[in-house]
Chain A
Amino acid sequence: MKLMMKSAWNFSRGLSLLGLLLLVMALPAQAAQGPLSQLEQSVNQILEILRNDDVQGDERREQLSDLIRQRFDFKTMAQYVLGPQWRKTSLADKDQFTKLFSDLLEASYIGKIEAYTDEEVTFAKEQIEGRKAKVGTLILTGTTEIPIDYRLVSNNDAWLVYDVIIEGVSLVRTYRDNYREIVRKKGMAELLVRMEDKLAEIRQDDTAG
């Protein structure tokens, strides 16, 4: 399936590199409360946990999860993913969707944080515009470079990530395209069921090794 698709596949390679970015990002310290430095701070805390061999398994994952949930604005992400459907959804379903969506993202990517170590980040910049900011990073692998951008929004002094863009591919938009189609064809209830099934499947796969 991949014949001659090298560059097109870098983006998805980048998806797996999402975790690694959190791992190895060595960003220069900047103004104390800027989005870049706040992101960096989270990264350092994550590094600390990963380097601490005393904490393993579920306990480690829980600590990582807490840190990630502090830095990512899952609610904003979930809302955008659902798009116009959000308003038509009952409060209970909104809550359930947001919870399932955060759990799914976490289940998909937290394992990858632990798996990638050997690449390095060569470049980072930040761009602030009102309450929004973009932090740009570049990951250097053995054969190529993968640009990864973070979009953040400030919320009472805290800068929270609401999208990750890898080689021009927005994580949130990819989920949005995916989910919107399912809602359109099968309805909201079916989407929630499929998300639950998928979550169970990924977790099973994780425990199976």
Chain B
Amino acid sequence: MNLHPPPGLTHFISILLTICLLGLAPSVILAQDQLTAPPSQSDQSSLEDDYLWDDEEELIIFDPIEPFNRAMFWFNDKLYFYLLKPVARVYRIVPEPARESVSKAFSNLGTPVRFVNATLQLKLKEAGTELGRFVINSTIGILGLFDPARGMGLKKHEEDFGQTLGHYGAGPGFYLVIPVFGPSNLRDGVGRIADSLVDPITSPYYLELKQLEEIGLKTYDQVNDLSIDKDTYEGIKRDALDPYLFVRSAYMQHRAAKVEE
């Protein structure tokens, strides 16, 4: 849903990029379980702990703007329950296979972003796969409504600019909840802006949809996905002691794993 970048935005992006790449916001401190006490205090159980998790890196999450983030989390929560979810629920009258096809078609439109970022990371095989998938699914798959490429062994690889930055060593920076868009971090937020320049729906360089069309399509994509989703967020709200902390941890872990791939 990013709008055409106003003059000066590119400048802003490059500043952010520089900050990111310089690693001024290092939020992942890879410490070998630095919080466990020295061995002298260890009992049997902590030795077991060290053994079971010795190949894991401790992911420390940096959230200096937590009050702001919690406010945005609250806002997004209301947006979800009072607007997006009710619409998605009504929309569920459309049969599920049709909704899955819509989801695949949008995913097909996401090819340029995945292709560009796979290429930037020099994952040439992945980039080739994306290209092949696009050609097959846009033709035999009827504008991406179906995914025959998957059956041919060409599997989709999620790539975005946040991962590209991570691939070249940028840390995630601080945790950031973006209004409407949800959980993110400094690096991925920058990545999102960069990707919107490549994404056919939002790109100012080709297709050049009107702003209202962009917003409409992006919202439709999300509502469609929400209609397929099995009330994940409701589950988190129900089960977690503090849903904000739960989402924050899960998001940061997920992105770290994505960069690692």
Chain A interface residues toward B at CB < 8 A: 1-9, 11-13, 15-16, 76, 79-80, 83-84, 86-87, 104, 107-108, 112, 115-116, 131-132, 142-145, 151, 153, 162, 167-170, 173-174, 177-179, 181-182, 191, 194-195, 198, 201-202, 205
Q: Which residues does chain A contribute within 8 Å of B225, judged by CB atoms?
A: 2, 6
Give Cα A6 to B52, complex, Å: 32
Decide if A2 touches B222 in the complex (CB within 8 Å): yes
Which of chain B's residues has its CB closest to A4's CB?
Answer: B181
| Interchain Cβ contacts under 8 Å between A and B, 13 examples | A1-B233, A2-B233, A3-B182, A15-B232, A86-B46, A104-B239, A142-B97, A169-B253, A173-B56, A178-B249, A194-B241, A195-B241, A205-B238
- Across the A-B interface, give the 6 residue pairs with the lowest CB-CB distance, nearest first: A168-B257, A1-B76, A177-B249, A108-B239, A1-B80, A178-B245
CB contact under 8 A between A168 and B249, given known A2-B84, A2-B226, A12-B233: no
Known contacts A4-B181, A131-B51; 11 additional CB pairs below 8 A are A2-B84, A3-B182, A3-B218, A5-B182, A12-B232, A87-B41, A87-B46, A142-B100, A153-B52, A170-B253, A177-B245
Of B52, B181, B240, the residue contacting A178 (CB under 8 A) is: B240
CB contact under 8 A between A178 and B246, given known A1-B79, A86-B46, A143-B228: yes
Chain B interface residues toward A at CB < 8 A: 1, 35-37, 41-43, 45-46, 48-49, 51-53, 56, 59, 61, 76-77, 79-80, 84, 96-97, 100, 103-104, 107, 155-156, 158, 180-183, 192, 218-219, 221-222, 225-226, 228-233, 235-236, 238-242, 245-251, 253-258, 260
Q: Which residues does chain A contribute within 8 Å of B43, judged by CB atoms?
A: 87
Q: Which residues does chain A contribute within 8 Å of B183, judged by CB atoms?
A: 5, 8
CB contact under 8 A between A202 and B239, given known A4-B218, A5-B183: yes
Give Cα A195 to B236, complex, Å: 15
Q: Which residues does chain B contribute within 8 Å of A174, judged by CB atoms?
A: 246, 249-250, 253
Which of chain B's residues has its CB closest to A88's CB?
Answer: B37
Of A142, A162, A191, the residue contacting B52 (CB under 8 A) is: A162
Give Cα A160 to B99, complex, Å: 39
Give Cα A57 to B76, complex, Å: 36
Q: Which residues does chain A contribute within 8 Å of B51, judged by CB atoms?
A: 131-132
Q: Which residues does chain B contribute within 8 Å of A11, judged by CB atoms?
A: 250, 253-254
Q: Which residues does chain A contribute within 8 Å of B249, judged by CB atoms?
A: 173-174, 177-178
Decide if B230 touches A16 in the complex (CB within 8 Å): yes
Decide if B240 touches A1 in the complex (CB within 8 Å): no
Task: Find the residue from B41, B97, B239, B260 having the highest chain A CB count within 10 A.
Answer: B239
Decide if B77 touches A1 in the complex (CB within 8 Å): yes
Q: Which residues does chain A contribute within 8 Å of B107, judged by CB atoms?
A: 143
Q: Which residues does chain A contribute within 8 Å of B53, judged by CB atoms?
A: 80
Q: Which residues does chain A contribute within 8 Å of B242, judged by CB atoms?
A: 178, 181-182
Of B35, B229, B231, B233, the residue contacting A84 (CB under 8 A) is: B35
Summarize B's interface: helix, strand, loop or mixed: helix
- Distance (Å) between the CB of A141 and the closest chain B CB? 9
Decide if B245 touches A1 in the complex (CB within 8 Å): no
CB contact under 8 A between A142 and B254, given known A2-B84, A4-B192, A87-B46: no
Q: Which residues does chain A contribute within 8 Å of B192, judged by CB atoms?
A: 4
Q: Which residues does chain B contribute within 8 Å of A13, judged by CB atoms?
A: 229-230, 232
- Distance (Å) between the CB of B118 and the closest chain A CB? 14
Decide if B250 touches A132 in the complex (CB within 8 Å): no
Decide if A167 touches B241 in the complex (CB within 8 Å): no
- Distance (Å) between the CB of A80 and the closest chain B CB? 6
Q: Which residues does chain B contribute within 8 Å of A198, judged by CB atoms?
A: 239, 241
Give Cα A128 to B239, complex, Å: 32
- Distance (Å) between the CB of B158 and the closest chain A CB? 5
Q: Which residues does chain B contribute within 8 Å of A3, judged by CB atoms?
A: 1, 180-182, 218-219, 222
- Distance (Å) between the CB of B53 and the closest chain A CB? 7
Give Cα A76 to B47, complex, Å: 11
Q: Which residues does chain A contribute within 8 Å of B36, judged by CB atoms?
A: 83-84
Q: Which residues does chain A contribute within 8 Å of B235, judged by CB atoms?
A: 12, 15-16, 108, 112
